[in-house]
Structure 1
Amino acid sequence: MEPNQKFVYTDAGVTAEHLQFFDAFGFIHYKHFFTPAQIQRAIQAVEELEAQWIAEKKDKVFGTPIKYGKDENGRTVIHRFAFASLHHPYLHEMLQDPRIQELKKFLGDVPDARIAENEKDGLVINHYINTGESEFTKLGWHTDGLRDLVLNFKLYPMLNVGIYLDDSPVEKGGLRVLPGTHKQGLYQMMFRKKYFVDNTPDPDELIIEAEAGDLTVHSGRIWHRVALATVQGAASRRRVMYFPIISGKYSPKSHRSPTPIYHRFLRMIK
């Protein structure tokens, strides 16, 4: 097996080969998981929700801040949405796809595995664009599991699933992972990199080059980052939807939820 291998999801679902690959490297990349028509409808849904929240001047959703910025034309955009599937029926519908439910198998034999639409940050939409006025162009090294350690003093099994709305070639920067680091010890998970502030290329990193409609799954323990695009303006636009598959104590968010402490770090990221 090579870590740059890509898979096609078929009627066979999540196979033993897929599970073996994920166990070895901590992530998997499926090509053309969603059709072009589904992706176009998802983009339309995102734009509808963005227009609504901009008009409402919404600043938080269930305690999670909304990150605003400007696109290549100086137009106000939302760089980071949270809990999006709870606020648009089509995005919720996408997560009910039986193939999405099948992805729980990557969490292992966990009886309470669930798609967290109303936990963590729910369905997050990241809109990266490299312009002089953009507030969201990259994201430093981190693991997703640290949040549980900070908030719950316990590390629960979790996955992060990405749905690509745009092509993501290497010139757009995009996701970089350190294959195999999902098996690291707790010390390495906490201190191998400087969380969020370090975006330095690593000689062992793998670039995930994806197309619109592709889907990725990565372990909450794996080190990853989002690199800065080498192109600017519209050519750098990269939109990805992420949602967690989690286990452990059920912790739904609501309008009364406070802002989690880790979002103080995200405010500093451009």
Structure 2
Amino acid sequence: MRKAKIDFEYKTFQFGGELTEEQKEYFEKYGVIHFKRFIEPETALTFIAELEKIEQKWLAEGVDKINGIPLKFGKNEKGEPMIQRMCFTNKYSAVLNEFLHDPRFKLILQFLAPYEGRVGEDEKDGLVFNHYINQPNSKFSQMGWHTDSPRDLFLGQKILPMLNVGIHLDDCPSSNGGLRVLPGTQNQSVLKLLFGKKQFIDHKPDAREVAFEIERGDLTIHDGRLWHRVEVSPNFGEKSRRRVMYVPVITGKYKPKSSNSKTPFYHRFSKVIVK
């Protein structure tokens, strides 16, 4: 049976002093929303500089995991080692830690209503930094279709709502790859949530998918139960570079991680990166 394309209206919004009813209804219907210029481009450059400091320190010290979560390594355009996925970066930068206490994140919690949410600054993987670059020696240039729900099951807990809040540090028009979502799929059945596609293995474009026209400083929010993927850039090297920070906004029991935390077993049997 041919799958119907959802009637999706792509709109962008400005983040004000409160969430509007239009913004709440839009997110409730589609499970995704795009805010323009959440941070200034200059602030994005400051964050990039902070992340580069953390990366160089971890590379010099031979760090391969933080709080039990493995880092994802690759090589840059010069063939030098780089870290393409970094977790808990807020714990290693006063600047990034302060950002997580921006009062606007408290407004974002309203998208989880009626559940009570919080910013998972020391839970899940903390503030994650994803660095996508497409080149022959890159191991992290795309990400297959997935929902974030199986992770809850792997951890022995019921599927709970969560938000993936992405702060985009580079311009990323849809022509350069990037985020793709299936709007409205956050409301699907549990079976479709888990088995609607082959989690992480399936990279095929979907006729129903929606791409985004992103500029440096933009913010995207999507429900973790929404089917989403990251499309590989058709460009190589610097033109393909996409840097995104992800803030986990979560519900449920408080479960902080520390240097004594064990590596979740799903990292041990899969080389696939989970946001």
* TM-score category of the 2 structures, normalised to the smaller one: over 0.9
Gaps of 5+ in 2: 1-6
Given that residues 168 and 215 in structure 2 are in contact (C-alpha distance below 8 angstroms), is that contact kept between their aligned partners in structure 1? Answer: yes
Match of 2:192 among 156, 177, 188: 188
Q: Which residue number corresponds to residue 21 of structure 1? A: 26
TM-score when scaled to structure 2? 0.94
Q: CA deviation at 1:145?
A: 2.0
Gaps of 5+ in 1: none
Q: Which residue number corresponds to residue 15 of structure 2? A: 9
2:91 aligned with 1:52, yes or no? no
Q: Which residue number corresponds to residue 151 of structure 2? A: 147
Match of 1:78 among 75, 78, 83: 83
Distance 1:136 1:243 in 2: 19
* Same amino acid, percent of matched pairs: 48
Q: CA deviation at 1:82?
A: 0.5
Q: Deviations over 1:167-218 (max 9, x none)?
A: 1112321000000000001000010000111110000000022111000111
2:15 corresponds to which letter in structure 1? Y
Distance 1:46 1:236 in 2: 19
TM alignment of 1:1-270, pairs within 5 A: 2-11=8-17, 13-111=18-116, 113-264=117-268, 267-268=271-272
Task: Give the match's secondary structure for 2:84.
Answer: strand
Task: Give the match's secondary structure for 2:155.
Answer: helix
1:244 corresponds to which letter in structure 2? P
Distance 1:170 1:50 in 2: 27
TM-score when scaled to structure 1? 0.95
Q: CA deviation at 1:95?
A: 1.0
Q: CA deviation at 1:3?
A: 3.3
Q: Deviations over 1:16-60 (max 9, x none)?
A: 111000011001000001011211111111111111111111000
* Alignment RMSD: 1.3
Task: Give the match's secondary structure for 2:205.
Answer: coil
Q: CA deviation at 1:265?
A: 6.0
Given that residues 84 and 124 in structure 1 are in contact (C-alpha distance below 8 angstroms), is that contact kept between their aligned partners in structure 2? Answer: yes
Q: CA deviation at 1:261?
A: 2.3
Aligned residues: 267
Q: 1:215 and 1:79, CA in 2 relative to 1: closer, same or farther beyond 3 A?
A: same
Distance 2:97 2:157 in 1: 30
Given that residues 174 and 228 in structure 1 are in contact (C-alpha distance below 8 angstroms), is that contact kept between their aligned partners in structure 2? Answer: yes
Distance 1:125 1:266 in 2: 20
Distance 2:41 2:243 in 1: 14
Distance 2:150 2:192 in 1: 11
